[in-house]
Chains A and B, each alone.
Chain A
Amino acid sequence: MTVDPIHQFEIKRYVDLLNLSSVQFSFTNAAVFMFGIVAIIFFFLTYATRGRTLVPGRAQSAAEMSYEFIAKMVRDSAGNQGMVFFPLVFSLFMFVLVANVVGLIPYTFTVTAHLIVTAALALLVIGTVIIYGFVKHGTHFLHLFVPSGVPGFLLPFLVVIEVVSFLSRPISLSLRLFANMLAGHIALKVFAFFVVGLASAGIAGWFGATLPFLMIVALTALELLVAVLQAYVFAVLTSIYLNDAIHPGH
Chain B
Amino acid sequence: MMKSWKVTVALAFAGAVLMGAPVSAASDPAGKPATVAQAAPPTGAAGHGTHEPAAAAPGTGHADAAGDHGKKSHFPPFDGTTFASQLLWLVLSFGLLYFLMSRIALPRIGRILEERHDRIADDLEEAAKHKADSEAAQAAYEKALAEARAKANSIAGETRNRLNAEQDANRKSLEAELATKLAAAEERIASTKTEALTHVKGIAVDATGAIVSTLIGTSPAQHEVEQAVDSALAKKDAA
Contact bitstring A37-48, B, C-beta under 8 A = 1, else 0: 110011001100
- Residues of B with C-beta under 8 A to A27: 85, 89
Pairwise interchain contact A28-B85, C-beta atoms closer than 8 A: yes
Cα A26 to Cα B84 in complex, Å, equals: 9
Q: For the complex, is A30 an interface residue (Cβ under 8 Å from B)?
A: yes
Task: Say whether A64 contacts B93, CB under 8 Å.
Answer: no
In the bound complex, what is the Cα–Cα distance between A30 and B86 (angstroms)?
Answer: 7
Q: How far, in Å, is A26 (CB) from chain B's closest CB?
A: 5
Stretch of B99-107, B147-155, B192-200 contacting A (4+ beta carbons < 8 Å): B99-107
> What 0/1 pattern do residues 171 to 195 of A give for CB contact below 8 A with B?
0000110111011101101100110
Interface string of B13-47 (1 = CB under 8 A from A): 11001000001111010110011001000100110
Enumerate chain A residues within 8 angstroms of B38, measured Cβ to Cβ: 2, 4, 7, 10
Check A116–B115 contact: CB distance below 8 A.
no
Closest approach, in angstroms, between the C-beta of A170 and any C-beta of chain B? 15
Q: Is the interface of B mostly helix, strand, loop or mixed?
A: helix
Q: Would A3 and B31 count as touching, CB distance under 8 A?
A: yes
Contacting residue for B9 out of A34, A45, A183, CB 8 A: A183
Q: Is A134 an interface residue (CB 8 A)?
A: no
Query: Which one of A14-22, A137-145, A237-245 contacts B?
Result: A14-22
Tally of A-B residue pairs with Cβ under 8 A?
A: 202
By the criterion CB–CB under 8 Å, are B13 and A6 in contact?
Answer: yes
A4 to B112, CA, bound (A): 49
Tell whether A209 is near chain B: CB-to-CB under 8 Å.
Answer: no
A220 in contact (CB, < 8 A): no
Chain A: which residue is nearest B115 at the CB level?
A54
**CA of A30 to CA of B3, assembled, Å:** 25
A13 surroundings in chain B (CB, below 8 A): 42, 45, 85
B77 at the interface (CB under 8 A from A): yes
- Chain B residue nearest in CB terms to A21: B51
Q: Known contacts A37-B93, A38-B93, A46-B105; can you find 15 more A-B pairs with CB under 8 A? A: A2-B34, A13-B45, A20-B49, A21-B49, A28-B85, A41-B97, A54-B116, A54-B119, A64-B112, A67-B106, A87-B102, A114-B77, A116-B82, A121-B94, A179-B6
Interface, chain A (partner B; CB < 8 A):
1-7, 9-11, 13, 16, 19-28, 30-31, 34-35, 37-38, 41-42, 45-46, 49, 52, 54, 56, 60, 63-64, 67-68, 86-88, 90-91, 94-95, 111, 113-117, 120-121, 124, 175-176, 178-180, 182-184, 186-187, 189-190, 193-194, 197, 222, 226
Closest 8 CB pairs of A and B: A87-B102, A31-B89, A34-B93, A183-B6, A183-B10, A45-B105, A179-B10, A9-B76
